[in-house]
């Protein structure tokens, strides 16, 4: 039966915490995240995306879950890693342009602003930068990479689909080179900013890439269109039933 075939499910998170405002719906409460990791640990391993794909390629039996964080916010190391169960591993996608500065959508004060503004290539659209960044530094990413997977989220977090092919290639290539320099480890995976796909010819050096479209990952899933589920705000038995409803067994 299909449900018995090896497959994986990739979860997408951005930030942990409970801020006064969350206009982009990026936050999950840290204790809820911890409970979700405990629930998963009872039934499935939490592995890096690369490890999950390796298991599929080697035709290893069983299902797995990969937990990914986009944008490499500092909560990953401060809140997520300490709440993992034993042997659970994250995949964290980082941008490399001015990591000491906040993302400009984090500076948007008005939650009513149109989400389309986040796609703008103009970094001044949100006003002046305060100089206070919630993003992980190169040194923090290097520490994280000792036990977890660091992936490419491009250099400047632009919509790749809106760029000419050569600029797409440069965004990916620049970020990969910097991340490998910072962490001392190869970076083979990519998460498309905003889920906007790039031309496959611009993905030189990438082995796989994550989208934001839902679905399970099978051995035959195209490696540059790996589906991911936004992690739901569910706990305990409800979360378990949600995972099973997606096809895990």
Q: Is the backbone of residue 216 left (phi > 0), alpha (psi -120 to 50) or beta?
A: beta
Nearest Cα residue to 79 out of 39, 30, 35:
30
Residue listed under structure tokens 């496959």: 200
- Residue 124 predicted with pLDDT over 90: no
In the three-class reduction of DSSP (H, G, I as helix; E, B as strand; rest coil), residue 105 is classed as: helix
DSSP bridge partners of 16: 28
pLDDT tens digits for 223-246? 999 999 999 999 999 999 999 999
Greater pLDDT, 7 or 130 = 7
Percent above pLDDT 70 for the chain: 89
Once rounded to an integer, what is the mean pLDDT over residues 133-149? 96
Secondary-structure class of domain 2-103+132-151+209-246 per CATH: alpha beta
Asked whether the beta carbons of 162 and 120 are under 8 A apart, the reply is no
pLDDT tens digits for 157-178? 999 999 999 999 999 999 999 9
- Residue 116 predicted with pLDDT over 90: no
Vertex 179 angle, CA 176 and 183, to 5°: 140
């Amino acid at each position: 039966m299909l449900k018995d075939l090896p497959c994986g499910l990739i979860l997408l998170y951005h930030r942990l915490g409970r801020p006064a405002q969350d206009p982009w719906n990026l936050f999950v409460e840290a204790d809820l995240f911890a409970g979700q990791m405990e629930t998963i640990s009872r039934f499935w391993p939490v592995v890096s995306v690369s490890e999950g794909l390796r298991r599929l390629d080697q035709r290893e039996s069983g299902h797995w879950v990969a937990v990914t964080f986009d944008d490499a916010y500092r909560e990953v190391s401060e809140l997520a890693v300490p709440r993992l169960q034993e042997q659970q591993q994250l995949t964290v996608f980082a941008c490399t342009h001015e990591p000491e500065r906040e993302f400009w959508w984090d500076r948007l004060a008005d939650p009513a602003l149109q989400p389309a503004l986040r796609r703008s290539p103009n970094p001044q659209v949100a006003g002046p930068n305060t100089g206070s960044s919630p993003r992980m530094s190169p040194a923090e990413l290097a520490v994280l990479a000792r036990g977890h997977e660091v992936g490419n989220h491009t250099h400047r977090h632009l919509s790749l689909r809106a760029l000419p092919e050569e600029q797409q290639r440069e965004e990916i290539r620049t970020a990969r080179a910097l991340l490998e320099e910072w962490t001392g480890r190869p970076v083979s995976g990519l998460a498309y900013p905003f889920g906007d796909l790039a031309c496959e010819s611009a993905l030189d050096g990438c082995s796989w890439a994550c989208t934001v479209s839902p679905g399970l990952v099978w051995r035959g899933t195209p490696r540059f269109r790996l589906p991911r589920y936004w992690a739901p705000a569910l706990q305990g038995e409800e979360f378990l039933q949600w995972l099973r409803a997606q096809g895990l067994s």
